[in-house]
């Protein structure tokens, strides 16, 4: 008897499977913002001050992910993470998530179970509940996630508040997801990697059966993991808001493109430090260097950091006088400064005072 597929079950039976997986994945998470959860026509939410943030993202098979590159659990985790990052970027706390999922009838039932586990556990780690959604049959897998967040009495941090003289701060990783994607594009065999040992065997075959350094294995596995299921430092969103952030957003499309969005919205210019010449980027450079060396092009490190997206770190600006408030929070590092647009076009982004001469990053229709 073969593996059961979703097309062999009714919608009611599939919902039972989903709810059972969510119950296991989310454990005792009980958001105080949720009055009525899954099971009715709508969920009912409350907020502490009458305001909440709402964001949605869509992931399409073959465009955002491939089932040959990522496990179902990783795809679920990624779908949750990139939405939760949007809430954190407003300075809010994630509270409730609604999910729409379309998939072919031939989709194996274990794939649906794994996807639900990945999504549910990632939401639970952020303190958010999955409170409902919708199922549909479709030619390809398509995921739509809508997340709600509570500001808990604080004003939202918008993209439009950056001020000349502000420090540009980033919390999280840069370039790792882009490096993982490039590794998969150059060698799709890495899509089969589930453990570090799997990666070692593939490198061994590729590199003429020579010994592979631990630095390369660590670099490649870390980047592959970052692409499949990014880890956003969600707690830094409310933290940066409390520290007085003037503007903030998550880095989804690239550091250059998203800095440009802040600069345009705020009518300022931004100067980012050169990643290869600044201590703030040391951790990213050290993690990316071995993989770039293996691929034969060290310039990839700079490209991945500046033009790579989907790490979903948080990019913020705050007054220089408020920067000491970040002491003891090492993931938030200063990486540049906000300039007046005098003599420059509003929205200009420089790197070490010069045009970056790199692609801006991902554009869903322009790429």
Binding residues, by number, are 41, 55-57, 64, 86, 133-134, 159, 250, 252-253, 310, 362
Distance CA 243, CA 325 (A): 6
Conformational region of residue 171, where left means phi above 0, alpha means psi within -120 to 50, and beta covers everything else: beta
Binding residues for ATP, by number, are 133-134, 159, 252
Binding residues for Mg(2+), by number, are 41, 55-57, 86, 134, 250, 253
Distance CA 239, CA 236 (A): 5
- Backbone torsions φ then ψ of 202, nearest 5 degrees: -70, -45
Distance CA 5, CA 153 (A): 46
Strand arrangement of the beta sheet that strand 129-137 belongs to: 52-60, 142-150, 93-103, 129-137
C-alpha closest to that of 55 among 232, 205, 178, 190: 232
Q: How far are the Cα atoms of 237, 285, 300 from residue 203, in angstroms, in the given order? A: 38, 21, 19
DSSP single-letter state for residue 3: -
Which residues in 313-351 are b (16+ Cβ under 10 Å) and which e? bbbbbbbeebbebbeebebbbbbbbbbebeebeebbbbb
Binding residues for substrate, by number, are 64, 310, 362
């Amino acid at each position: 008897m073969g593996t059961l597929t979703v097309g062999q079950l009714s919608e009611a039976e599939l919902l039972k499977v989903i709810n059972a997986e969510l119950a296991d994945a989310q454990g005792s998470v009980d958001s105080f913002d949720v009055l009525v959860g899954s099971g009715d026509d709508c969920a009912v939410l409350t907020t502490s001050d009458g305001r909440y943030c709402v964001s949605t993202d869509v992931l399409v098979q073959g465009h955002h992910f491939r089932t040959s590159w990522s496990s179902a659990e990783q795809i679920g985790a990624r779908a949750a993470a990139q939405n939760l990052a949007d809430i954190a970027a407003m300075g809010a706390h994630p509270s409730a998530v609604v999910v729409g999922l379309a998939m072919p009838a031939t989709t194996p039932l274990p794939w649906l179970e794994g996807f639900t586990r990945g999504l549910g556990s990632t939401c639970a780690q952020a303190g958010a509940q999955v409170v409902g959604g919708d199922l549909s049959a479709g030619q390809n897998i398509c995921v739509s996630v809508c997340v709600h967040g509570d500001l808990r009495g604080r004003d939202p941090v918008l993209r439009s508040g950056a001020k000349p003289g502000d420090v540009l701060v980033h919390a999280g990783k840069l370039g790792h997801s882009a490096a993982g994607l490039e590794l998969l594009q150059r060698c799709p065999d890495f899509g089969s990697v589930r453990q570090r040992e799997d990666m070692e065997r593939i490198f061994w075959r590729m590199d003429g059966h020579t010994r592979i350094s631990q630095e390369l294995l660590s670099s490649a596995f870390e980047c592959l993991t970052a692409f499949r299921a990014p880890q956003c430092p969600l707690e830094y969103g409310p933290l940066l808001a409390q520290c007085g952030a003037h503007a903030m957003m998550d880095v989804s499309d690239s550091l250059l493109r998203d800095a440009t969005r802040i600069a345009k919205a705020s009518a300022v210019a931004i100067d980012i430090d050169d990643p290869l010449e600044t201590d703030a980027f040391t951790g990213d450079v050290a993690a990316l260097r071995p993989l770039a060396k293996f691929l034969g092009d060290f310039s990839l490190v700079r490209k991945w950091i500046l033009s790579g997206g989907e790490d979903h770190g948080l990019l913020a600006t705050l007054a220089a006088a408020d920067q000491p408030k970040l002491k003891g929070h090492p993931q938030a590092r200063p990486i540049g400064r906000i300039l007046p647009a005098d003599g420059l076009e509003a929205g200009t982004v420089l790197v070490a005072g010069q045009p970056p001469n790199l692609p801006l990053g991902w554009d869903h229709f322009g790429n």
